[in-house]
Structure 1
């Protein structure tokens, strides 16, 4: 799917768009899209694993109950689910980054810093997904999360076009979205630049992860007590 986005929009639409203005310079649209879509891929991979797969193990297969027959706390099981989802997303984006390098989209030596940033993004989105995993009664419940939160965020976070093209109110609102933080950190690295306000974006992303983890843990504990 990420490669489909890259080929269809990067080369197809990119042939029409050419380049986009970013940070006072013109950036090829294929590079602009690649740096945003790899963040979106980290979000999607972590989310799917922490929703559908985790829910199957928790509710359908009762794998969590079996594990907790051993002297293992619920917190440890949830932590393992979160880390597995985050690292699975890291494996996915590593493969995608390899394809992007093969296509010669970017030659920046700073791309080595992309992977730890995307690991943090994977942790953040897996923690957020585990909140809805704790609330879900069935798989259909996850549609609300995708429709009301993830899909709008995908279009508001600068993945496909500069956020500066949005109305002023949406620009201010989208500046604090978790996907925006990842995009703002990763895109300059594709361009060979150090991200502006890197520490702020990192701290906001880490704060989302910490808050989401606390909520997910509390809701999961309440679910298992019920």
Structure 2
């Protein structure tokens, strides 16, 4: 029995990732519509509706401000949903993981494969919204393409955090607590819908302890044709969340499934 907190990383996660991709291709259309439709609805409804009341934020139209936030939040929601509901289904209900463990794979490979697949879905969802934003004229230049690797890193971090919840959950109902107590506060306090400087200083400090605000701080400048500042700091925080959550989720799942 493996007791080390550090996961055993190897390229054996790729077959797990590929297996999920092949299954997803069979339900690709409804999956894309589900992950893509709601963020675009938020973008259009809030951007055109609420944006008429807000007006411009300095020199930045509210629609442009919102587009970058929606891309970040979409990555968070997609990775979190896949890392919880879909991964839990394969682990507990369909017993897919049991079958995978009969192959030359270990549990660490499966966990990493699930997390990377969730990150990939987050990237696909965010890319689709980025295309829509570009078609609406909300993207300044090609610097916006540099947001894609940041989205992949963010998807990895959010998926790894979601996998911790999956490791602790005994039913689907448990996931509602995570969405209510973690995902929703991050959505509201990370500069997705309004600038952080509108909040009290204490809230701003607390917000910077969360990963989503750091994703927004990097991607928003790229979307509006500027270069972000403190990039290394922001990406380090997101990467730290992902690596710590990967280690913890792997350890918890070993205890749950291998003991």
TM superposition score normalised by structure 2: 0.84
Where does residue 211 of structure 1 map in the other structure?
Answer: 244
Among candidates 50, 58, 61, match of residue 13 of structure 1: 50
Where does residue 216 of structure 2 map in the other structure?
Answer: 183
Among candidates 144, 155, 166, match of residue 122 of structure 1: 155
Where does residue 79 of structure 1 map in the other structure?
Answer: 112
Where does residue 4 of structure 2 map in the other structure?
Answer: none
1:102-125 C-alpha deviation (Å, 9 max, x unpaired): 111123221110100000000000
Where does residue 194 of structure 1 map in the other structure?
Answer: 227
- Give RMSD over aligned pairs: 0.8
**Residue pairs, 1:53-72, within 5 angstroms:** 53-72=86-105
Runs of at least 5 residues in structure 2 that lack an aligned partner in the other structure = 1-37
State the Cα distance separating 1:192 from its structure 2 match.
Answer: 0.9
Where does residue 258 of structure 2 map in the other structure?
Answer: 225
The answer to whether 1:88 aligns with 2:121 is yes
**Residue pairs, 1:19-58, within 5 angstroms:** 19-21=56-58, 26-58=59-91
**DSSP-derived class of the 1:196 partner:** coil
Runs of at least 5 residues in structure 1 that lack an aligned partner in the other structure = none
Runs of 4+ off more than 6 Å: none
1:102-154 C-alpha deviation (Å, 9 max, x unpaired): 11112322111010000000000000000000000000000110000100110
TM superposition score normalised by structure 1: 0.96
The answer to whether 1:2 aligns with 2:39 is yes
The count of residues paired between Structure 1 and Structure 2 equals 222
The answer to whether 1:109 aligns with 2:145 is no
Question: Following the alignment from structure 1 to structure 2, what is the Cα–Cα distance between the partners of residues 66 and 225?
Answer: 14
Among candidates 167, 172, 175, match of residue 134 of structure 1: 167
Where does residue 169 of structure 1 map in the other structure?
Answer: 202
